[in-house]
Structure 1
Amino acid sequence: MTIKNTIDSLDTLVRLRSTKVDRLQADMAAQQATRARYQANLARLDGLTSGSGASGALPLALALNCGQYKLAVIALADNHRTDLSLHEATMAVSQRALNDAWSERQLLGQVLEQKKGVAALAQNRVERKREDELATQSWLAGRK
Structure 2
Amino acid sequence: MSMGRTVNSLARLVDLRGREVERLTGELAGQQAMRKRYENNLTRMEQLLHAAAPSDQGCPVLSSNSALYKAWLADLIASHRQDLAHHDTVIAASRGALTIAALKHEGLGRVLHDKRALLERQHRVREQKQQDQLATQAWSRSRLQA
TM-score interval, normalised by the smaller of the two chains = over 0.9
Q: Could you say which residue in structure 2 is the equivalent of 1:29?
A: 29
Q: Could you say which residue in structure 2 is the equivalent of 1:137?
A: 137
The amino acid of 2:137's aligned partner reads Q
Distance (whole Å) between structure 2 residues aligned to residue 106 and residue 58 of structure 1: 69
The amino acid of 1:128's aligned partner reads Q
Aligned length: 144
Q: Could you say which residue in structure 2 is the equivalent of 1:89?
A: 89
Note the 1:55-134 alignment, pairs <5 A: 55-134=55-134
Displacement of 1:53: 3.1
Distance (whole Å) between structure 1 residues aligned to residue 101 and residue 46 of structure 2: 39
The amino acid of 1:65's aligned partner reads N
Displacement of 1:58: 4.2
1:6-44 deviation digits (Å, cap 9, x = unpaired) = 000100000000111111111101111111111111011
Displacement of 1:89: 0.4
Displacement of 1:63: 1.6
- In structure 1, the gaps of 5 or more residues are none
Distance (whole Å) between structure 2 residues aligned to residue 103 and residue 30 of structure 1: 21
Superposition TM-score, scaled by structure 2 size? 0.94
Displacement of 1:59: 2.6
- Percent identity, please: 36
* Alpha carbons of structure 1 residues 64 and 33: separation in structure 2 relative to 1, 3 Å: same
1:41-85 deviation digits (Å, cap 9, x = unpaired) = 101100100011322344332122111111100100100000000
Distance (whole Å) between structure 1 residues aligned to residue 72 and residue 100 of structure 2: 42
Distance (whole Å) between structure 1 residues aligned to residue 142 and residue 122 of structure 2: 30
Q: Could you say which residue in structure 2 is the equivalent of 1:12?
A: 12
- In structure 2, the gaps of 5 or more residues are none
Note the 1:34-53 alignment, pairs <5 A: 34-53=34-53
Distance (whole Å) between structure 2 residues aligned to residue 28 and residue 95 of structure 1: 7
Distance (whole Å) between structure 2 residues aligned to residue 53 and residue 131 of structure 1: 93
C-alpha RMSD of the superposition: 1.2
